[in-house]
Amino acid sequence: MNSLLISTIGCDDFAHLSMARTFHFNFFIIFILFVIVSASHHDFSIIDFDSNLFHQDYSPPSPPPPPHPPSVSCEDDLGGVGSVDTTCQIVANLNLTEDVYVEGKGNFYILPNVSVTCLVSGCEITINVTGNFSLGDNASILAGTFELAADSATFLNGSLVNTTGLAGSPPPQTSGTPLGVDGAGGGHGGRGACCLADKDKLQEDVWGGDAYSWSSLQKPWSYGSKGGTTSREVDYGGGGGGRIKLEIVRFLEVKGSLLADGGDGGAKGGGGSGGSIFVKACKMTGSVRISACGGNGFSGGGGGRVSVDVFSRHDDPKIFVHGGRSAGCPENSGAAGTFYDAVSRSLTVSNHNMSTYTDTLLMEFPHQPLMTNVYVQNHAKAAVPLLWSSVQGLFSVRGNSELGRTVAGENKDKAVETHAPKVREGRRG
Ligand SMILES: *[C@@H]1O[C@H](CO)[C@@H](O)[C@H](O)[C@H]1NC(C)=O
Ligand SMILES: *[C@@H]1O[C@H](CO)[C@@H](O)[C@H](O)[C@H]1NC(C)=O
Ligand SMILES: *[C@@H]1O[C@H](CO)[C@@H](O)[C@H](O)[C@H]1NC(C)=O
Ligand SMILES: *[C@@H]1O[C@H](CO)[C@@H](O)[C@H](O)[C@H]1NC(C)=O
Ligand SMILES: *[C@@H]1O[C@H](CO)[C@@H](O)[C@H](O)[C@H]1NC(C)=O
Ligand SMILES: *[C@@H]1O[C@H](CO)[C@@H](O)[C@H](O)[C@H]1NC(C)=O
Ligand SMILES: *[C@@H]1O[C@H](CO)[C@@H](O)[C@H](O)[C@H]1NC(C)=O
Ligand SMILES: *[C@@H]1O[C@H](CO)[C@@H](O)[C@H](O)[C@H]1NC(C)=O
């Protein structure tokens, strides 16, 4: 039975295996922090916390998406050739001004050099076909959201999906956009930086936009947030990063770039926070660049959230979720966002060696254990809730990174003051 399973293994089989494994691990409520310190001279242990008053993510679960509108037609609405139930080819640039939903039983091809754009914040382009999708060489899609469901998909050389700075509204009741006129960065996967600290506060106790949507870490689908401004009259904040979701039944080949970065705020505005990218496929090839980083600005935006759920990955995708640069305080970039690998169930928080005093908050898991490994690296600064004391796993902090504890929540300043400094490692020299 076992050998049969192995000899015929494919994505469907894997789904069963993975379910069995998840079930097996279910009794670990979250995980015990087992800290491996590889880049530091200080050993530390984060067992035995004194409190578990840790609350939910800031954002409620998103409501179910509204039903889809009817599909547009290939020729009449998109100026293409063919039909969405056979093969639709987009042969000339398309400049859209509103959301587009494409559904069909055929293939959908965007030919080389063709650009499909909808440069309205939050504009959604959804392609849902039972056949294949391709984005040709040097072709591009620019919009707030790009969502694709297809059997197999190829994104050829030089192709680009760019949702940078084109976010729609972040989830309700989140505070990713900082208040006031500090020109702070937007938050999402990590907090935005804030360069203007009161004299009596340490830089590391001050930040811009808050983090949110931790609960959708595995399947991120929130927009990034706008950065703040330094002016009462003009909003200089960079736009939030958009959203990209690829749900591919079989093969995904990506040689281009998938971008959901925060927009830049320039000298007078905070960078927007990175958006969300979720990629699911059975098999993925190609050296794709996946980026949901914070935008640069007077203060940098926080990184967004990326999750990859691919059973068989052949080339190493380049994945970036770092914070944006802060022109007003270069040593304090936006905080790193989160990268979750659903197959190895590991979370990586990397700030790509951009130094920061600003935290990435790692929160609790409401439903089930999701991680075996957590890596905090390359100058990221992470804070974990006290609740993480009673669980099990591998926790690695390296590359000038830092880990603090917090009882995150409404009273953020106090929480960090009181609890954070006890566990620290690898401080900047
Ligand atoms: C696309 O349409 C918008 C609004 O109709 C217009 O402002 C913009 O110039 C157009 N862009 C291109 C590249 O045609
Ligand atoms: C795409 O554009 C490039 C440069 O603009 C040109 O060299 C190339 O021939 C074009 N390719 C196609 C397939 O039209
Ligand atoms: C694609 O279409 C199917 C059938 O209508 C629907 O069940 C599914 O939710 C759609 N997926 C997306 C991503 O729109
Ligand atoms: C879709 O792509 C897959 C993998 O490249 C291929 O096997 C299949 O024949 C394609 N289907 C169609 C309808 O072109
Ligand atoms: C894509 O663009 C590059 C650089 O502009 C060009 O060298 C290449 O020929 C283009 N590819 C195609 C297929 O047009
Ligand atoms: C894609 O680009 C790479 C290097 O940029 C080149 O080696 C390869 O031949 C290109 N492939 C195609 C199909 O143009
Ligand atoms: C993506 O879009 C942003 C915002 O329009 C732009 O600044 C950036 O250059 C684009 N990226 C690429 C690779 O074209
Ligand atoms: C970060 O710095 C470390 C050590 O200096 C180096 O090994 C690593 O390649 C750097 N990573 C990046 C992404 O720059």
pLDDT tens profile 228-273? 999 999 999 999 999 999 999 999 999 999 999 999 999 999 999 9
- Give yes or no for a contact between 173 and 147, defined as CB atoms under 8 angstroms apart: no
Q: Are 386 and 375 in contact (CB under 8 A)?
A: no
> Does residue 418 carry a pLDDT above 60?
no
How far is residue 387's CA from residue 52's CA, in Å, rounded to a whole number?
5
C-beta of 103 in contact with ligand 3 (< 6 A): yes
Give the span between the Cα atoms of 47 and 248, in whole angstroms: 41
Paired sense of beta strands 360-361 and 381-385, if any: parallel
Query: Are 227 and 177 contacting, i.e. CB atoms less than 8 angstroms apart?
Result: yes
Which ligand has the shortest distance to the CA of 264?
7
Which amino acid is it at 58? Y
Question: Nearest residue CA, atom 11 of ligand 3?
Answer: 128
In what helix (H) or strand (E) does residue 17 lie, and over which residues does it extend? helix 11-25
Q: Are 358 and 406 in contact (CB under 8 A)?
A: no
Query: Cα(387)–Cα(385) distance, rounded to whole angstroms?
Result: 5
pLDDT of residue 25: 33
Q: Tell me which ligand sits closest to the C-alpha of residue 69.
A: 3
Q: Is the CB of 134 under 6 A from ligand 4?
A: no
Q: Name the residue among 213, 203, 206 with its Cα closest to residue 240.
A: 213
* Atom 10, ligand 3: residue with shortest CA distance: 128
Cβ atoms 147, 129 nearer than 8 A: no
Select from 265, 244, 245, 258 the least CA-distant residue to 177. Answer: 265
Ligand lying closest to the C-alpha of residue 156: 6
- Among positive and negative, which fits the CA dihedral 282, 288, 139, 352? positive
Task: Give the mean pLDDT of the chain.
Answer: 81
Comparing C-alpha atoms, which of 179, 219, 260 is closest to residue 62?
219
pLDDT in tens, 163-214: 999 999 999 999 999 999 999 999 999 999 999 877 777 777 889 999 999 9
Closest CA to ligand 7's atom 10 = 162
Instruction: Place 386 in a pLDDT band, splitting at 50, 70 and 90.
Output: low
Residue 41 has pLDDT above 50, yes or no: no
CA of 228 to the centre of ligand 2 (A): 40
Gap between the Cα atoms of 333 and 300, Å rounded: 5
Pocket test for ligand 4, best of 151, 154, 312 (most atoms within 8 A of CB): 151
Contact predicate 285/253, CB 8 Å: yes
Residue-level pLDDT at 383: 84
Angle at 405 between CA 404 and CA 411, to 5 degrees: 120
Q: From ligand 5's centre to the CA of 220, what distance in Å? A: 32
For a mutational test of ligand 7's pocket, the pick from 157, 162, 291, i.e. the residue with the most ligand atoms closer than 8 A to its C-beta, is: 162
Give me the count of residues in the chain.
429
- The encoded tokens of residue 140 equal 């591009």
Note whether 369 and 26 are within 8 A (CB). yes
> Ligand 4: does its nearest atom lie under 6 Å from the Cβ of 107?
yes
> How many A from CA of 353 to the centre of ligand 8?
6
Atom of ligand 3 nearest to the CA of 148: 13
Give the closest ligand to the alpha carbon of residue 143: 7
Distance CA 105, CA 83 (A): 9
Inform me whether the pLDDT recorded for 415 exceeds 60.
no
User: Measuring from atom 2 of ligand 3, which residue has the nearest CA?
Assistant: 128
Q: Which atom of ligand 3 is nearest to the CA of 149?
A: 13
What is the whole-number distance in angstroms between the Cα of residue 158 and the centre of ligand 5? 7
Whose Cα sits closest to atom 10 in ligand 1?
Answer: 95
Residue 383's φ and ψ, nearest 5 degrees, are -125, 135
The bridge status of strand 87-90 relative to strand 94-95 is: unpaired
Tell me how far apart the alpha carbons of residues 46 and 388 are, in angstroms, rounded to a whole number. Answer: 9
Domain boundaries, given as residue ranges, for the chain: 30-422
Nearest-CA residue for atom 1 of ligand 1: 95
Q: Which of 44, 41, 52, 54 is nearest to 424 (CA)?
A: 44
**Nearest-ligand number for the alpha carbon of 95:** 1
Q: Residue 187 is encoded by which pair of tokens?
A: 């938050």
**Edge-to-edge strand order for the sheet containing 140-142?**
94-95, 115-117, 140-142, 160-162, 257-259, 289-291, 318-320
Please tell me the pTM assigned to this model. 0.85
53 pLDDT above the threshold of 80: no
pLDDT band, residue 402 (cuts 50/70/90): confident
Contact 86, 109 (CB under 8 A): no
Q: Starting at the edge strand that comes first in sequence, how are the strands of the sheet with 360-361 ordered? A: 360-361, 381-385, 402-406
Confidence tier at 340 by pLDDT (50, 70, 90): very high
Atom number, ligand 5, closest to the C-alpha of residue 137: 13
357 has a pLDDT exceeding 80: yes
Closest CA to 403 of 204, 195, 187: 204
Cβ(112) – ligand 2 distance below 6 Å: yes
